[in-house]
Amino acid sequence: MTDNKKLVVAISSRALFDLDESHRIFEESGKEAFCSYQMEHEEEILQPGVAYSLVSKLLAINEVLGQPTVEVILLSRNSADTGLRVFNSIQHHGLSISRAAFTSGQSPFSYISAFGADLFLSSNAEDVRKALSAGHAAATILASSKPATDSGQLRIAFDGDAVLFSDESERIYREKGLEAFAEYEKVEARNPLSGGPFKAFLATLHHIQTLLGADESPIRTALVTARAAPAHERVVRTLRAWNIRIDEALFLGGKEKGPFLHAFGADIFFDDQQGHCDSASQHVATGHVPHGVANPEKN
């Protein structure tokens, strides 16, 4: 990764702003009523959505570094007409977002690659599945009942298996149980795990961290995993083999992750298991990564 490589994050309008009311109208009354509602209210400013704080902190990194290092792209199922309210709100809130794709109801996931996005965040689970299948880091945003941390530092937490790493070990656990999993990881301890869908995104975050000293970095990362000793060793050696620094690593041995994510002050947490995501979202904003053995393909 070169020094001028940007971190590009693509986000849906429903993840960025609170569009619950207009989405309810779409669900209950259809597309025409939705479009009429949006145009009638296009001068009304939308309130921040679940990923608003995350986006604000991402864009603030450019000010800290004094160079355009992060870009946020809007990918929306709105039309250009109904999207006018979204852009009015972007301007009102002072967000430096200038690129967008409005697809009039079609899935916008095909534009992730065209924009060179490193991460796609959406409220639409099907769009996220398509993005992951195409090889992009992507997550379905779940709202949190707790307010985002007011720390100026961007804090991102990741689960390990099927998110940062492949799901090979998770498959052993599901097929043969905890004892077989522990033995497998002990035998394979010095063999790095394959990368999961979020490996490249983590690498890009790590690069940005290296532009400033560790104490001055605008980003702090954490691995929050149900693994425990001795299965921790392979994870540590994998990150070392990738030459990626992660700031904090929590090996919880099956304990509930939410309180630890709150203690870390995560702005967002990514996990592949829906149950873990539902629990974590009681404490922090959470992104469900529907990837791997825990998320079989839907027919």
Tell me which residues are annotated as active site.
159
β-strand 7-11 against 119-122: which pairing, if any?
A: parallel
Query: What are residue 184's phi and psi, to 5 degrees?
Result: -60, -45
Residue type for position 283: H
> In this structure, are residues 165 and 194 in contact, taking their beta carbons and an 8 Å threshold?
yes
Query: What are residue 171's phi and psi, to 5 degrees?
Result: -65, -40
Cis before residue 218, ω within 30 degrees of 0?
Answer: no
> In this structure, are residues 197 and 291 in contact, taking their beta carbons and an 8 Å threshold?
yes
- Tokens standing for residue 76: 């929306």
CA distances from 274 to 91, 290, 294, 295 (A): 34, 8, 8, 9
Q: How many helices (H) and strands (E) does the chain have?
A: 13, 10
Task: Look at residues 128, 130, 187, 191 and name the one whose alpha carbon lies nearest to residue 165.
Answer: 191
> For residue 239, how many C-alpha atoms fall within 13 Å in the half-sphere facing its CB?
20
CB atoms within 10 A of CB 92: 10
> In this structure, are residues 296 and 276 in contact, taking their beta carbons and an 8 Å threshold?
no
- Tokens standing for residue 74: 């809007």
